[in-house]
Amino acid sequence: MRDLDAQPPVTSESGTPLTTYGRGESQGGSSRENGRANGRGNGHELLADLHSLLERICREERHPQALHELLSRPARFLEVNFPVTGVDGKTRVYKGYRCQHSDLLGPGKGGLRYHPDVDGSEITALALLMTIKCALLELPFGGAKGGVVCRPKELSRRDLEELTRAFTRAIAGFIGPETDIPAPDMYTDAGVMAWIADEYSRLQGRNEWGVVTGKPEGMGGLAARGTATSLGCVIAAREAAWAVGIPMEGARVVIQGYGNVGSNAAVFLAEMGARIVAAGDSAGSIHHPDGLDPEALREHKTIGGSVAGFRPGREITGEELLEVPCEILIPAALENQIHEGNAARINARIVAEGANGPTSAAGQRILRERRILVIPDILANGGGVVASYLEWVQNLTRRRWRPKEIQEELEQRMVAAFRKVYARYREKGGTMREAAYAIALARLAEAASLRGWVR
Ligand code: NAD
C-alpha cells in the first residue's frame, strides 16, 4: 500500500492538490467535502452559481440567448462503467466520467480526479470553469474535466495503475491530443498521467504523449510546472500593485495556505523585495512584522509538517492571520475563507486568489465596498494551465522549451490577461471577477459567431 498523501503535491492546471479526503483543499466550490466543511453545496450548487453568473453577464453584454444556452450545457458528457481486476484477483466495476464542456476555442482541457465523491454535476461545473479560464487566458483550449469514483488511498500503486489503464481504454475514443487533454487533479499525479499517456499510445500504435499534461519530465513534462501557478499568481499580484501604486519593494504580504501555491508564491514575492509578514497552514499561523524567511519557513514546514513554531515569529490564530495588515493577501488554501463574517476586517489593499473560490459572494461584496482589489481565481491561479499549454505544445512540436522561454510565456500571458481585466474593470466598474468573465465570454461569443454556431 502506498499512501498518496506521502507524495509531493502534484497539481493540475485546475489546481486541486493531492490531499486527504475531507481536508477540503480541492477546487473552489467544487467538491463535496468542501461543501460540507463550508456549508456550501455540491456540484449542483456550483453549477447553479456559475449558470447564474453566465446568464447575468450574457444578458448585460447582450450576447445572443443561444450563447448562454450553449455554455449552459456540456457539449459532450461520457459516463463509463469499467471492470478492473485488482492484485487480490477480484474484479470490481468502477464508474468514471469525462465532460467536454466546450470545444469552441480548441480541444478540451481539464483535470482528472479520483475521489469517492466524484459526481456528474461537479465534473460538469468544473469543466465549465475551465472553459472560462482558458478563454480568459487566450489559450487555444476549451474546457473539460473528468473523474473516477474510487477510494485511491485504499488502492495499491499497482491497483491504481490497473484502474488508470482500464479507464484510459474506456475513454480512449473520447480523448486525444487534438480533442481533449486531461491533466492531474485531486489524487491523480504525474505518475497517473504517465500511465494514461502510455496506455493511450499503445492503443494508437504510436507515442501520443500530448494526450495528457502534467507528465514527468522524462515523458515530455515541464520542469517549471510545479511552480507555474505561484509564479502566475505573483505576476498578477505585481501588476495589481503597480496599478494601484504600491511599490513591491517592502510590500507586506500575508499568505494563507503554505503549500505548493502559497510557499512558492512567498519565495517569488520575497525575490521581488516584498516582505512576508505572516503565513499560515491548517495547523497554525505565524506573524513577524519584520518579515519571515520564506525558504526557511518552507523547510521548517517540510520537517515539522506546519509553519507553527517557526522562529523568529509569533503564533497567531487562523482568523488573526487574515486580518494582519498588509498590502497583498494571498489566500492559497481553501474556498470560502473570506466571507461575510470577516471581510470587513481584511486589512489588505490587494487580494490575489491563489486558491479557487476563497472569497464567498457576500465577502466579495464587502471587499468591493471597501475598495480592496480582488484578483479573481480564474486569473490569479491561471499560471498552471498556461504551463499545461506549453507542455502540450512541446509534445506536439517535439521541441523542448528552454526555462527562460517558459518564464517569458508565463509572464507575457499573465500580464496581458491582467491588464485586459483591469482595464475593463476600470472602465465599467463592478468587480475584477465580473470583468474577467465578461472578457472570457466575449472571446467565446466571437468564436461562436465566426464559426457560425450562434447567429
Ligand atoms: P497544497 O495542499 O499544497 O497546500 C494547501 C495549504 O493550505 C497547506 O499548507 C494546508 O496546510 C493549508 N491549509 C489547509 N487548510 C487551511 C486552513 N484552514 N487555514 C490555513 N491554511 C490551510 O495545495 P496547493 O496545490 O498549494 O493548492 C492550494 C489552492 O490553490 C487550492 O485551492 C487549489 O485548488 C488552488 N490551485 C492550485 C493550483 C496548483 O497548481 N497547485 C492551481 C490552481 C489552483
Each residue of 79-107: pLDDT tens digit?
999 999 999 999 999 999 999 999 999 99
Domains of the chain: 4-212 (3.40.50.10860), 227-371 (3.40.50.720)
Q: How far apart are CA 325 and CA 277, in angstroms?
A: 9
Burial class (CB in 10 A: 0-12, 13-18, 19+), 9: middle
DSSP 6: G
The reported pLDDT for the residue numbered 186 is 79
Q: Is the CB of 11 under 6 A from ligand 1?
A: yes
The reported pLDDT for the residue numbered 39 is 36
β-pairing, 328-331 with 314-316?
unpaired
Instruction: Locate the ligand 1 atom nearest the alpha carbon of residue 257 and give its number.
Output: 7
Q: Is the CB of 258 under 6 A from ligand 1?
A: yes
227-231, 354-358, 409-413: the lowest-pLDDT one: 354-358
Cis ω before 312 (30° cut-off from 0): yes
Give the pLDDT band (50/70/90) at residue 27: very low
Mean pLDDT of 421-429: 96
The reported pLDDT for the residue numbered 14 is 52
Q: Do 274 and 254 contact (CB within 8 A), yes or no?
A: no
- Contact residues for 289 (Cβ-Cβ < 8 A; gap 6+): 277
Query: Cell numbers at residue 428, please?
Result: 465599467
The reported pLDDT for the residue numbered 2 is 27
70-74, 95-99, 222-226: the lowest-pLDDT one: 222-226
The reported pLDDT for the residue numbered 60 is 95
Give the pLDDT band (50/70/90) at residue 34: very low
224 vs 310, which has greater pLDDT?
A: 310
Q: How far apart are CA 400 and CA 395, in angstroms?
A: 8
Please, what is the average pLDDT of the chain? 89
- Contact residues for 218 (Cβ-Cβ < 8 A; gap 6+): none
Q: Can you give the three-state secondary structure of 409-442, one letter per residue?
A: HHHHHHHHHHHHHHHHHHHHCCCHHHHHHHHHHH
Which residue's CA is minimally distant from atom 43 of ligand 1? 15
Q: Is the CB of 34 under 6 A from ligand 1?
A: no
pLDDT tens, 250-261? 999 999 999 989
Question: Choosing from 95, 109, 133, 145, which is the catalytic residue?
Answer: 145
The reported pLDDT for the residue numbered 13 is 57
- The answer, yes or no, to whether residue 130 has pLDDT greater than 70, is yes
Q: Do 122 and 32 contact (CB within 8 A), yes or no?
A: yes
Mean pLDDT of 7-23: 39
Instruction: Locate the ligand 1 atom nearest the alpha carbon of residue 262 and give its number.
Output: 26
The reported pLDDT for the residue numbered 335 is 74
- The answer, yes or no, to whether residue 429 has pLDDT greater than 60, is yes
CA of 263 to the centre of ligand 1 (A): 10
**pTM score of the predicted model:** 0.88
Q: Is the CB of 15 under 6 A from ligand 1?
A: yes
- The answer, yes or no, to whether residue 41 has pLDDT greater than 90, is no
The reported pLDDT for the residue numbered 19 is 36
- The answer, yes or no, to whether residue 183 has pLDDT greater than 70, is yes
The reported pLDDT for the residue numbered 185 is 85
- Choice from 281, 315, 388 to test ligand 1 binding pocket (greatest atom count within 8 A of CB): 281
Mean pLDDT of 57-68: 95
CA torsion angle 116 355 210 139 (round to 10): 130
Say which amino acid occupies 439. Answer: I
The reported pLDDT for the residue numbered 29 is 32
The reported pLDDT for the residue numbered 42 is 56
Q: How far apart are CA 19 and CA 6, in angstroms?
A: 9
Query: Cell numbers at residue 328, please?
Result: 497583498
CA of 259 to the centre of ligand 1 (A): 6
- The answer, yes or no, to whether residue 299 has pLDDT greater than 80, is yes
CA of 257 to the centre of ligand 1 (A): 6
Q: Give phi and psi for 180, each to the nearest 5.
A: -165, 125
The reported pLDDT for the residue numbered 402 is 92
Instruction: Locate the ligand 1 atom nearest the alpha carbon of residue 357 and give its number.
Output: 32
Mean pLDDT of 157-161: 97
Give the residue from 238, 206, 279 showing the smallest Cα distance to 410: 238
The reported pLDDT for the residue numbered 387 is 96
- The answer, yes or no, to whether residue 193 has pLDDT greater than 70, is yes
Q: How far apart are CA 374 and CA 348, in angstroms?
A: 10
CA of 14 to the centre of ligand 1 (A): 12
Active site residue 90: no
DSSP for 144-193 reads: EEEEEES-GGGS-HHHHHHHHHHHHHHHTTT-BTTTEEEEE-TT--HHHH
| Helix 432-450 / helix 120-136 crossing angle, nearest 10 deg | 90
Q: How far apart are CA 141 and CA 66, in angstroms?
A: 21
